[in-house]
Amino acid sequence: HVVQQLEGTQCSYFFFKHNDPLKSSLAVFLRSMAYQMANANRSVRQQLLELQQDDPFLEMENTRNIWRKVFGVVFKAQYHQPHYWVIDALDECKAAENHDFGGLFGFLAKIDHGVPVKLFMTSRFTTELERLIAPLHPVTEQVTAEDTTQDIRAYVKTYLDSLPGENKEEQTDLAESIIAKSSGCFLWAVVVIHQLKEVMFFEETEDVLQQVPQEMEGLYMRSLQVLSTKPKYKQLTLSILNWTICAMRALTTFELKDALKLDINQTIIKDLEKAIPSLTGHLVFVDRHSRVQILHQTVTAFLTDPNLGSEIRVKKSEGNTNIAKACLRYLCGEEMQMQKRRRSSAAIFRERTNALSDYACSYFSEHLLRATSTDDELFKLLTNFLRTNILTWIEIIAQKKRMDFLTRAAKHLKAYLDRRAK
C-alpha cells in the first residue's frame, strides 16, 4: 500500500521474509536497494558502472563491503528529488534472529544529511530495535491490537458468504464472534476462517471457536491434533512440512509435487494447491505466485521445537537428510544422463521435465551440509552421483553462469565428508 502511494516518485523497497534465505539476508537487501536506485536514477547508474569497471570482482556477500564500496558511490550521485526506501518486516531479517542489527543501523546512521533518502520501515516492536533506531530520530507509530481490529473486521467480512450458517444472520453472528475472539491477532483470524470453511456440522463451528486457546502455540497444537487423526497421510504431511521449512527457497506447487515423488515415492493426483491446507492443518499455504509458504515464522519455531510432544515434528537434521537424498535421486537419474549422438562423440542433454531439476542442481549441497553424516543411504547416493552424472551437473551449472555454486558445493562436500570420516 505504501509503495502504491509513492507511485510516481523514486522509490526502492524490500520485504524481508524469515523463511526465505534470500529475502532474509542483509546482503541481498542492500544489493536490491542499490539496483532499484540505479534503475530510478541515471547518476546512480553511472556511479555503479564506473565502480564495476574499476573493481569487476567486487565481493557482494559481505554487507560491510557492499555498504562501504557500493553505497559509498551511490550516495555520491546527484539527486534532484527525494528517494524513498520502504522496508517491511525488518524483524524477519536474519540479523534480527542473530541479534546483530547494529551493523544495519550503523550504516543508516552514516548516511549524509545532504543525501535526500527517506526511510519507511515496519517491524514488530522490540526493545533492541527501539534502542538501535533512536539515533536516527525517527517518527514512530506503534500498531496496537485495537488498530488491527478494523482490518480483521474487513478481512472477515470478505469471507462472510463462505462461513457456515443456514442464513445471513447466522453467518453475521459467527463473524462477530470471530472478531471478538481474535483479540487483535490477525493470524488467529486467518487460520480460524480457513478452518471454518471446511466444517460440515454446526457443532464443529462451536468446537473451532471454543477449543482453540488464546495463545498461538495452542492453536498450532490443535492443528497437529487434527492432523494426528489422519494417520494415512502422516508421511505426506511430514514431507510437505520438511520441504516448506527446510528448503533454501520457497518451492512452487509443481516443484513440490515432483519433490514429494522423489522423497516419499508417492505421486500426487489431486490438486496439490487445494490439498495443502488440509494436509498441513493450515500451517502451510500457497501464495498467489503458486509458491508454498509457511503460515508464519512462529510456525517454524513451534514445529522445530525439540520439546514438542507430537509425532508431527520437523527435525531439521532429518528433514535436510531426506531432502538431500531426494535431490541426489534426481541427480543420479536418467534425466541427468547424457546421450551420445550416433555418428559423433559429442553428447547431448536429455530433456529435463522434472520440475525439481533447477532446485536439485542448485541446492543439493546445501542440504548435504545440513544433513546427518551417518546416513548410509545418503552416502551411497552421493557416491553414485560423483561416479555417474557429476560432469552433466557441472555443465548445467556452467550454462546457468553460476560458477559460485561449484565452489560452494565443493566446500559443502568437504565439510560433509570430514564429518563422515570422524
What average pLDDT does range 61-84 have in this prediction?
90
**pLDDT tens for each residue of 148-168:** 788 889 999 998 888 888 888
What average pLDDT does range 377-394 have in this prediction?
95
pTM, two decimal places = 0.58
Long-range CB contact pairs, 326-329, < 8 A, 24+: 326/259, 326/262, 326/263, 326/356, 326/360, 327/262, 327/356, 327/359, 327/360, 327/363, 327/364, 327/367, 328/360, 328/364, 328/378, 328/381, 328/382, 328/384, 328/385, 329/262, 329/381
In percent, how much of the chain has pLDDT > 70? 91
Q: Is the pLDDT of residue 388 over 90?
A: yes
Top pLDDT among 130 and 392 is at: 392
Q: Is the pLDDT of residue 348 over 90?
A: no
**pLDDT tens for each residue of 304-331:** 989 888 899 999 999 999 999 999 999 9
Q: Which of 202-216, 267-281, 357-371 has the lowest mean pLDDT?
A: 202-216
**pLDDT tens for each residue of 248-262:** 999 999 999 999 999
Cα–Cα distance between 274 and 161 in angstroms, integer? 19
Averaged pLDDT of the chain: 86
**pLDDT tens for each residue of 275-304:** 888 889 888 888 878 999 988 767 888 899
Cα–Cα distance between 122 and 2 in angstroms, integer? 11
Q: Is the pLDDT of residue 213 over 50?
A: no
Cα–Cα distance between 19 and 23 in angstroms, integer? 8
**pLDDT tens for each residue of 24-48:** 888 899 999 999 999 999 999 999 9
Other CB atoms within 10 A of residue 103 CB: 14
What average pLDDT does range 2-7 have in this prediction?
91
